[in-house]
């Protein structure tokens, strides 16, 4: 049956082209009654022939529609299940570990106890002779503080655990594009494993990197590099503690490695934070000079900030102590966010959005 015949038969039975088998039966009943009353055997015969010709066509179309609808339903169900699974990954609900496993990202006991217990352990070790063995790490964090500012601004930097960071005299495109590439890899890894932290962190860091590389003048970057040594001891240590709660890609083996980061971050932060609180209270002096050349080194960070950039001593103290307070608030906020399980709102929000979309489609 070609298209013209099909339309002719539908017209004869007063059927729309998209009618189904049920519509055909109803139309035939109406036409049969009407033609019987009209007493037109020829028209009734042609109508009957049209009905007989359309029956197998309509039945086949109904079967095809049923198969298509079933396939579409399976696709929607699979998409919904995948979205629910993705939402669970985004919220850190799926980690492959039980709630009693220290590697679990969702265990309420781990999330509640790990941070205070490790902070207490780090505080205790900082007051023992064992703290001497942590000095190399703290020095390296200090140098990474200089280096991170330089990297974000497009300068090459090599932080060494001997109290020195070698920084290039000029910005280099290779640094910018290299870091941007690594952020892209980080983002893709998070996307593949449906981890929220990389999806948020990578674009934010990339935005800061773009601003510092292409908008911040060299003299200001140099000032921030000088500030970033001790500053890095604050913010890098705080980030290491806060990162304990983030669900990073599996390739980082983060379920285990995060405890080392938490301990070293807590030990470093407690040391630098208490030091500057003591300086603010007048119980200690600002650390003038440098580790390599002693207290008289005019190239020390505090010397540069005070004599080179004309920062008054009280401003230096205020800014470092203020940074320390901000880090405390930030770590506490992350701790409360995950222990109050606010991250579980993410699957609910995603599910609510999907339900709204489905309602719009069905409506």
Question: To the nearest whole number, what is the mean pLDDT of the chain?
Answer: 84
The yes-or-no verdict on residue 12 having pLDDT over 80 is no
Give the Cα separation of 40 and 48 in Å (integer). Answer: 12
When comparing pLDDT for 194 and 215, which is higher?
Answer: 215
Least confident residue range of 24-38, 82-96, 114-128: 82-96
pLDDT at 150 (0 to 100): 96
Task: State the number of CA atoms in the 13 A half-sphere of 248 facing the CB.
Answer: 19
DSSP, residue by residue, 94-137? --SS-TTSTT-SS-HHHHHHHHHHHHHHHHHHHTSGGGGGGHHH
Least confident residue range of 52-56, 96-100, 247-251: 96-100
C-alpha 87: how far from chain center: 12
pLDDT at 336 (0 to 100): 93
Query: In the predicted model, what is the mean pLDDT of residues 147-154?
Result: 96
Give the Cα separation of 327 and 242 in Å (integer). Answer: 10
The yes-or-no verdict on residue 7 having pLDDT over 60 is yes
Least confident residue range of 76-85, 241-250, 320-329: 76-85
Q: b/e for 248-261, b at 16 or more Cβ within 10 A?
A: bbeeeebbeebbeb
Residue 78 class from Cβ within 10 Å (0-12 exposed, 13-18 middle, 19+ buried)?
exposed
pLDDT in tens, 186-199: 899 888 877 778 88
Least confident residue range of 85-89, 119-123, 255-259, 329-333: 85-89
Token output for 119: 């902070």
pLDDT at 22 (0 to 100): 82
pLDDT at 256 (0 to 100): 80
Least confident residue range of 43-47, 135-139, 197-201, 276-280: 43-47
User: Which residues sit opposite 188 in a β-bridge?
Assistant: none
Least confident residue range of 121-130, 131-140, 194-203: 194-203
Going by pLDDT thresholds of 50, 70 and 90, the confidence category of residue 352 is very low
Q: By the 8 A CB rule, do 275 and 284 touch?
A: yes
Q: What are phi and psi of 222, to 5 degrees?
A: -60, -40
Least confident residue range of 85-94, 96-105, 181-190: 85-94
In the chain, domain spans: 3-75, 108-344
Least confident residue range of 61-65, 131-135, 144-148, 153-157: 61-65
Instruction: Evaluate the CA torsion angle 235, 237, 306, 208 in order and state its sign.
Output: negative
Percent of the chain at pLDDT exceeding 70: 85
Give the Cα separation of 352 and 297 in Å (integer). Answer: 61
pLDDT at 362 (0 to 100): 45
Going by pLDDT thresholds of 50, 70 and 90, the confidence category of residue 87 is low
When comparing pLDDT for 161 and 98, which is higher?
Answer: 161
Query: In the predicted model, what is the mean pLDDT of residues 302-316?
Result: 95
pLDDT at 209 (0 to 100): 96
pLDDT at 363 (0 to 100): 46
pTM of the model: 0.68
pLDDT at 354 (0 to 100): 47
When comparing pLDDT for 108 and 233, which is higher?
Answer: 233
Going by the DSSP 8-state scheme, the letter that residue 249 receives in this structure is: -
Q: Beta strand 164-171 with 155-160: parallel, antiparallel or unpaired? A: antiparallel
Query: In the predicted model, what is the mean pLDDT of residues 142-169?
Result: 93
Give the Cα separation of 271 and 139 in Å (integer). Answer: 12
Contacts of 290 (CB under 8 A, 6+ apart): 163, 297, 299, 300, 301
Q: By the 8 A CB rule, do 222 and 153 touch?
A: no
Q: By the 8 A CB rule, do 302 and 226 touch?
A: no
pLDDT at 346 (0 to 100): 57
Beta-strand runs (E) in the chain: 155-160, 164-171
Going by pLDDT thresholds of 50, 70 and 90, the confidence category of residue 61 is confident
């Amino acid at each position: 049956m070609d298209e013209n015949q099909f339309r002719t038969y539908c017209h004869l039975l007063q059927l729309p082209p998209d009618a189904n088998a049920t519509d055909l039966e109803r139309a035939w009943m109406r036409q049969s009654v009407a033609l019987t009353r009209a007493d037109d055997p020829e028209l009734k015969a042609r109508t009957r022939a049209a009905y007989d010709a359309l029956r197998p066509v309509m039945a086949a179309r109904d079967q095809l529609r049923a198969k298509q609808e079933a396939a579409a339903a399976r696709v929607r169900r699979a998409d919904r299940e995948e979205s629910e699974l993705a939402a669970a990954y985004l919220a850190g609900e799926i980690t492959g570990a039980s709630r009693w496993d220290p590697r679990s990202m969702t265990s309420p006991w781990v999330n509640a106890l790990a941070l205070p217990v490790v902070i207490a352990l780090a505080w205790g070790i900082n007051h023992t002779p064992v703290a001497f063995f942590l000095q190399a790490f703290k020095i390296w964090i200090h140098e990474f503080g200089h280096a991170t500012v330089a990297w974000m601004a497009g300068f090459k930097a090599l932080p060494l655990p001997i109290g020195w960071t070698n920084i290039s005299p000029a910005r280099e495109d290779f640094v910018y594009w290299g870091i941007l590439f690594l952020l892209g890899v980080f983002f893709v890894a998070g996307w593949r494993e449906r981890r929220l932290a990389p999806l948020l962190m990578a674009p934010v860091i990339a935005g800061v990197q773009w601003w510092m590389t292409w908008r911040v003048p060299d003299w200001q970057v140099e000032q921030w590099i000088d500030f970033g040594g001790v500053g890095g001891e604050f913010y890098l240590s705080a980030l290491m503690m806060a990162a304990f709660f983030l669900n990073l890609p599996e390739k980082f083996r983060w379920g285990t490695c995060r405890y080392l980061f938490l301990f070293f971050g807590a030990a470093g932060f407690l040391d630098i934070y208490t030091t500057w609180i003591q300086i603010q209270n007048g119980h200690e002096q600002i650390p003038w000079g440098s580790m390599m050349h002693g207290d008289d080194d005019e190239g020390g960070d505090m010397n540069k900030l005070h004599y080179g950039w004309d920062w008054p001593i009280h401003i230096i103290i205020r800014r470092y102590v203020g940074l320390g307070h901000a880090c405390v608030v930030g770590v506490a906020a992350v701790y409360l966010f995950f222990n109050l399980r606010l991250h579980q709102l993410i699957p609910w929000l995603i599910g609510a959005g999907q339900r709204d979309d489905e309602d719009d489609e069905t409506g």
